[in-house]
Amino acid sequence: MSTAPDPVPRPLDHLAMRGADTDAALVLRGETLSWKDLRSRVARMAAWLQGQMPQPGARVATWAAKGELTCLMPLAAARAGLVHVPINPLLKRAQVKHILSDCSATLLIATEARLASLEAGDVPKGCEALAEKVSASEWHEGEGTLDPSDADPDALAAILYTSGSTGNPKGVMLSHANLWLGAVSVAHYLGLAADDVTLAVLPLSFDYGQNQLFSTWYAGGSVVPLDYLTPRDVIKACARHGVTTLAAVPPLWVQLVEQDWPAEAVAPLRRLTNSGGALGEELVRSLRALFPEARLFPMYGLTEAFRSTYLDPALVDDHPTSMGRAIPFAEILVVNEAGEIAGEGELVHCGPLVAQGYWQDAERTALRFRPAPKVSHYGGTAVWSGDTVRRDDAGLLYFLGREDAMIKSAGNRISPQEIEDAAVATGHAEEAVAFGLPDARLGQAIHLVVRGSGDGAALREGLKRDLPNFMQPATVRWLNAMPLNANGKIDRALLRREAQ
C-alpha cells in the first residue's frame, strides 16, 4: 500500500477492473469467479438491467441471500446508470413494502419464497417483481455487455435503508464517490492486498457489509460470501478458504470466542475488524488471546457518513475501549453545545464520506446533515451524529453516549417506534414502549412494555408475523396504566429505570 490513499473518486463499477484476470474475485457456493469472470458478468448484468430499466437513476431493489445477484448488483447497477437499493433479507413484508414505496422502485429482484410472502399492494404500481432465478437466467443468456461507465462520481449510486429512533426506516443516499472513497480508505488502513481473502458474514444491505466487498475488491483480493447459521459455520469457512480478513459485530464475536478454533482456521487470519457497537475490554482481551497474530481493528461508524474512526491495532492492548482516530478522508470534530471545539461533546463528521442526505426527506435530512463547524478543513455539509464522545490528550476518542433512543441489538440499529407501532397494530396492545437494556451477548436486548388486553401469546404471534427476528422483544411487560410525566406524556425514563 502507498503511504497515502488516492483521493480521486471513480465510478463504483470500476472496482471490477482492479484484479488480475486469473485470480479469484468471488467464491460462491457452487463456483468461483475469477476477476475475468467478474468483469464479464458485471458487464452482462449491466446490459440486461439497462434493457429492463432504460430510465437513468431508476431504483432497482434486491431482496435475497448472499450470492451472485446481491454481490454483483452494486457494480452492475452503477454501470447501467441505476440506483441500487439492497434490502436486508431478514426483513419481512411490512418493511419491504415501505422501502419499495418510499424509493419508488422500478424493479424488485428477490427469491421466490420472499416474493411469495408479499401480499397484494406490497409491490407499488410501476414496479416489476422478478424471481432471482428468472432474472439470472435472462442476463446469463443475454448477449449484450456494457463497458465501464464514465459516471459522475457525485451521482447517486445506492440508497441504504437504516432505522431511526422514530418512524419507518429512512433511505441514506450514497454517491459513487462516497462508496469508492470508503473502499479506498478501508483498504488502505487495513493494509489489504491482492492475496487477501475476506469472509463476508455481515449483511450486504449494511454499509459495513457492503464495504467487505468494495474494500477487498479495491485491493484486488477475493471475497467469500457466507450466510451462516451457527458460529461453527464461520469457523469452518475460515479454515476451508484460508480466510485472512474477518469482520463482525460484538454479538457474533462473543459467540466466536466461546468456540474451539482449529489451528488451520486461526493461522491464516491477518486482521479482525469490529463495528456496530463497542467490544468492551473483556472481549478485546479474549480476541487478542485467541488470535494473537491477527491485528484487531475496533471501528466506529454511522451509515450517514459510512465510517468515522478506527483504532490502530498497535494501541488496542493499552487503549481497549477507545474508538481511535479519524479514518482517511474523514475529519472528526468534537463540538460542545456552544458550537465550539471541545474535549467532550458531539461527534461531527466532515469530508467526502458524508452522504447526500435522506431520500425524499428534507425534514429529517436538515436535522442530521447540517453545515460543518467553521473550523472544519472540508467545510460544506457535515453529519452531526448525536453521539457524545471525549477526546483525550493523545487525540484518541472515547464513546460516552447516544442522544437518541435507538436500540443497538446484535449489530442492528432498531427503531423503538417501529416495534411500538407493530405491537399496537396487532390489536392486543393499546399503548407500547420499547427500549434496549444492556445484554452481554446482544449489546442490548429489546424490552417491550404494553398496556392492553393481556393476551401475550397473540401479541407475540403478531410481532413474529410482522417483524424480523432481530426486532423481537426479549421480554414483554404488561401494565394496567402507563406512567405519565409532568407533561402528560408516557414516562419512558421511569419505565427504563424500573426495568433495570
∠ CA 34-37-39, rounded to 5°: 110
Structural domain count, the chain: 2
* Grid cell for residue 30: 457452487
Pick the last residue of a domain from 174, 194, 227: 227
Identify whether 436 is part of a domain: yes
Of 2, 383, 16, 474, the closest CA to residue 220 belongs to 16
- Which residues contact residue 259 at a Cβ distance below 8 angstroms, ignoring those fewer than 6 apart? 231, 232, 235
**CA-CA distance, 500 to 492, in Å (whole number)?**
13
Contact 477, 499 (CB under 8 A): yes
What is the pLDDT, as a whole number, of residue 452? 83
For residue 284, the one-letter residue type is V
What is the pLDDT, as a whole number, of residue 393? 95
**CA-CA distance, 356 to 143, in Å (whole number)?**
36
For residue 414, the one-letter residue type is I
What is the pLDDT, as a whole number, of residue 165? 58
Q: Which domain holds residue 411?
A: 407-499
**CA-CA distance, 149 to 81, in Å (whole number)?**
8
Contact 195, 445 (CB under 8 A): no
Q: Tell me which residues of the chain have a pLDDT lower than 50.
A: 1
Identify whether 331 is part of a domain: no
Identify whether 441 is part of a domain: yes
Identify whether 273 is part of a domain: no
Of 497, 157, 182, 99, the closest CA to residue 353 belongs to 182
Identify whether 17 is part of a domain: yes
Pick the last residue of a domain from 208, 227, 246: 227
- Which residues contact residue 179 at a Cβ distance below 8 angstroms, ignoring those fewer than 6 apart? 12, 74, 157, 158, 210, 214
Domain containing 73 — which CATH number? 3.40.50.980
Pick the last residue of a domain from 195, 227, 259: 227
Distances from the Cα of 214 to the Cα of 189, 204, 207, 209, angstroms: 14, 11, 10, 9
What is the pLDDT, as a whole number, of residue 276? 82
What is the pLDDT, as a whole number, of residue 491? 84
**CA-CA distance, 255 to 288, in Å (whole number)?**
15
**CA-CA distance, 327 to 336, in Å (whole number)?**
22
Identify whether 342 is part of a domain: no
The residue assigned the cell 469530508 is 351
* Grid cell for residue 129: 417483481
List pLDDT tens digits, range 227-237: 999 999 999 99
Identify whether 252 is part of a domain: no
* Grid cell for residue 477: 411487560
Domain containing 493 — which CATH number? 3.30.300.30
Identify whether 166 is part of a domain: yes
